[in-house]
Amino acid sequence: MAKMILVANWKNHPASLAEAKDVLKNYAKAKERFKKLAFFIAPPLPYLAEVSERAGGFSHLAVQDIALVPKGNYTGEVPLEILKSFGARLAILGHSERRALGETSAQVSEKIRAALRAGITPLVSVGEIERDKDGEHFEILRKEIKASLLGVSRQSAAKIVLAYEPVWVIGKSAKDALPPGDLAQSVIFIKKVLTDIYGRRVADKIPIIYGGSVESANAGALAKETGVKGFLVGHASLKAKSMEEIAKSLTQK
């Protein structure tokens, strides 16, 4: 993707369709800013139609996960064909909250390949649970990246987006979040791992975005000289003004 990437992960919020409409209404006030980005909104499944219809002029639809089921009848599951019919163009895969529920890197790999076959861009989330002073977390991160991308070919890898999401900073305030210098170091490491797997040419085509307590207060610092190509935003994405400020940090030169 040539543009900087901004993904609003609403998770299981807001609590009602009326509130979701209000968020979208407030987003629309900053639509010219969002149009400068590859802006995706990943709402809870019941809000897919509303987001697709109301935000189509300035954003793209994303989903928070996909179901790994073959063709057939599966009560409660939503197949990729239905998600695509709503206009879904990106899928968040391997999010730390999904992994915490027991999802394995092998399952993430399978979902990546399923999304690619369906023509949906996989946004692959990786990140260490904790950081240690000896740097052993880098080896944990390396293993998770390699396991999550196992079986993904060079040609397909060039079509994914990778989100670095250190679990230990999620839910912290902006002042306690990952320092820009540490983020830059992690991005360099991730690029090296991708280069080891796919070679420099393919690795350079894989955008690395950051997720982990991204707010308007720290977005500007995190966007500068860290090598990230955008943000995956959680709780702050429900506040339109915060999202506008985060978008501004990615569009300013």
d(CA 194, CA 197): 5
Choose, from 97, 128, 144, 165, the residue flagged as catalytic.
Answer: 165
Positions of the chain with pLDDT lower than 50, given as ranges: none
- Domains of the chain plus CATH, in order, are 5-251 (3.20.20.70)
pLDDT of residue 171: 78
Q: How far apart are the first and last CA of the chain?
A: 18
pLDDT of residue 19: 98
Q: Is residue 165 annotated as part of the catalytic site, yes or no?
A: yes
pLDDT of residue 253: 61
pLDDT of residue 72: 86
pLDDT of residue 185: 95
